[in-house]
Amino acid sequence: MWEKLQTLDRRVIYLFFVIALMIPLFKPMGLPIPIGEESQRFYDAFDKLAPGSVVLMSADYSPGSSAECNPQFEAVIKHAFRNNYKVMVFALWEQGAMLARDIAEQVSKSMNKTHGVDWIFLGYRPGGNIKIREMSNDLWGALLNIDGYDRPLNESPMMANIKKLYPPDIDAIVCFSSGSPGDGDYMAVVTDPSGIPLFTGQVAVQVPARVPLIRSGQLAGMIPGMGGAAEYENLTGFPGKAAGLMDAQSLAHIVILGFIVLGNIAFLAARKT
């Protein structure tokens, strides 16, 4: 028996490994995840916004970063809808707009939120820093008076009192970033001068550069990478893709450790016989 375990077909090991990876992806198991300081700070500050607050959510990332940023975006927009914030979905990256639109449409439908009343898709606008500056002075003019579906902005009731990307018309900005333009541009043009909170979701490689901005208070909170997205899903009570991926990773590690332990037991038992 012990000899057979030492010569176990590697395909059996791969099978257990695949099963361990697949199960949590279809149904997150809710394995414990320690909540990091950055995600907790983001959640606490974002949750304190008053009901009816206007939040711009900017999807400034590409499909290559969607594995990290999509779950972040989904978790935050669910939190926003649960708290009855008014959400403007926007992007300085063309592909980011499409990714964010699909998530917003799906989540708004599941949470009974109406486009133009509870949220609005403003689409992609080129120009980076310059476009943000235009929006901070005249939001409607910078958007050519149309939303991301080419509908007039005056047909959306929630836009009636939102004329510029600046207080008192907006209350917070959340930028999901994998590069530039991104959170640094919002910081320079809007949030540092006005004092409104800037939140960010970051790909893991950019997290170290944002830590000093958290400490300085220029960022109100940060969701760091895939792990941070899973933490935020748990904080909001909406476990999703990120939690499933973290569960899969943890379960795969358990399987690997299990086979290592079993292999050593088999080796020692075989020597005694």
What number of other Cβ atoms are within 10 A of residue 112's Cβ? 8
Q: What share of the chain is helix, strand, coil (3-state, %, to 5)?
A: 60, 15, 30
Which residue has better confidence, 98 or 263?
98
Model's pTM, two decimal places?
Answer: 0.81
The pLDDT > 70 percentage for the chain reads 76
- CA 214, 218, 220 angle in degrees (round to 5)? 60
The stretch 28-47 carries a mean pLDDT of 83
Structure confidence by residue, pLDDT tens digits, 61-97: 999 999 889 999 999 999 999 999 999 999 999 999 9
The confidence score (pLDDT) of residue 236 equals: 87
The confidence score (pLDDT) of residue 67 equals: 86
d(CA 24, CA 97): 28
How would you write 40-67 as a 3-class SS string? HHHHHHHHCCCCCCEEEEEEECCHHHHH
User: Does the pLDDT at position 244 exceed 60?
Assistant: no
Question: What residues form DSSP beta bridges with 202?
Answer: 177, 224
d(CA 106, CA 94): 19
Structure confidence by residue, pLDDT tens digits, 215-243: 999 999 999 988 888 889 888 887 766 55
User: Does the pLDDT at position 2 exceed 60?
Assistant: no
Q: Which residues have C-beta within 8 Å of that of residue 176, sequence separation ≥ 6? A: 57, 58, 59, 60, 61, 69, 72, 73, 96, 100, 200, 201, 202
d(CA 27, CA 38): 26
d(CA 43, CA 76): 9
